Amino acid sequence: MPWTMNDYPSSMKNLNTIIKKKAIDIANSMVDEGYEENRAIPIAIEQAKEWHENASQEELDEYKSHGKPTKRSSTKKRENSPERMEEEEQVISHEDGWAVQSAHAKKPDKVYRNKKEAVKRAKEIARNKGTSLKVFKHDGSVQETKSYK
């Protein structure tokens, strides 16, 4: 059953409204991708707290006024499944800048204009997933590898 701001896991009850909203959004997405609820909830809470700490006031205001958290799909499962949680994060050269993606993903999670921003985000993701990070140079050779296991 999809979580909402009126019906959410008890472990989210003491979160402030915007963090709770983001955690619900993340948890619903994770369950859509095939995670078990008892695994998705703590990960979603931690990621929502980290997002809140790092978001600008403008991002917080936009998210707060955006409406209800996304609801889980009742039928569709995404192609990017839980296996992505076990894969290293990578920063690779992309035609539009630098891409952040899981090792075997078909598409990047996001493309950044500069490498510094891409590496910063990839480190956050790898740390949250408890995996590793591999940063590549333009020529495809490895620049840096770091483990967060």
Residue 2 within a domain: no
66-72 mean pLDDT:
55
Q: Are residues 52 and 89 in the same domain?
A: no
20-33 mean pLDDT:
85
Q: Are residues 57 and 91 in the same domain?
A: no
Residue 75 within a domain: no
Q: Which amino acid appears at position 42 of this protein?
A: P
Segments forming the whole domain that contains residue 118:
82-147
Residue 131 within a domain: yes
More confident residue, 67 or 122: 122
| Cα-Cα end-to-end distance for the chain | 32
With a cut of 70, say whether residue 142 has pLDDT above it. yes
Residue 74 within a domain: no
Q: Among 87, 66, 82, which Cα is nearest to 24's?
A: 66
Residue 5 within a domain: no
Tokens of residue 106, six digits:
């078909």
Listed range (44-58, 64-78, 104-118) with the worst mean pLDDT: 64-78
Q: What is the DSSP letter of 134?
A: E
Residue 38 within a domain: yes
Q: Are residues 52 and 86 in the same domain?
A: no
Among 27-36, 45-54, 101-110, top mean pLDDT goes to 45-54
Q: Are residues 15 and 56 in the same domain?
A: yes
With a cut of 50, say whether residue 126 has pLDDT above it. yes
Q: Are residues 60 and 91 in the same domain?
A: no
pLDDT of residue 79: 44
Compute the distance between CA of residue 26 and CA of residue 40 in angstroms, rounded to an integer.
Answer: 8
Compute the distance between CA of residue 121 and CA of residue 42 in angstroms, rounded to an integer.
Answer: 20
Residue 32 within a domain: yes
For the entire predicted model, the pTM comes to: 0.48
pLDDT of residue 4: 86
Sheet holding 142-147, edge to edge: 110-112, 97-102, 89-94, 132-136, 142-147
Share of the chain above pLDDT 90, in %: 32
Compute the distance between CA of residue 18 and CA of residue 26 in angstroms, rounded to an integer.
Answer: 12
Angle at 124 between CA 118 and CA 127, to 5 degrees: 135
Q: Are residues 93 and 136 in the same domain?
A: yes
Tokens of residue 95, six digits:
């035609």
Among 1-15, 30-44, 46-60, 110-124, top mean pLDDT goes to 110-124
Q: Are residues 142 and 105 in the same domain?
A: yes
In total, how many domains does the chain have?
A: 2
Strand intervals (E) in the chain: 89-94, 97-102, 110-112, 132-136, 142-147
Q: Which tens digits make up the pLDDT trace of 74-123?
A: 444 444 444 556 678 999 999 999 999 988 877 888 899 999 999 999 99
Residue 30 within a domain: yes
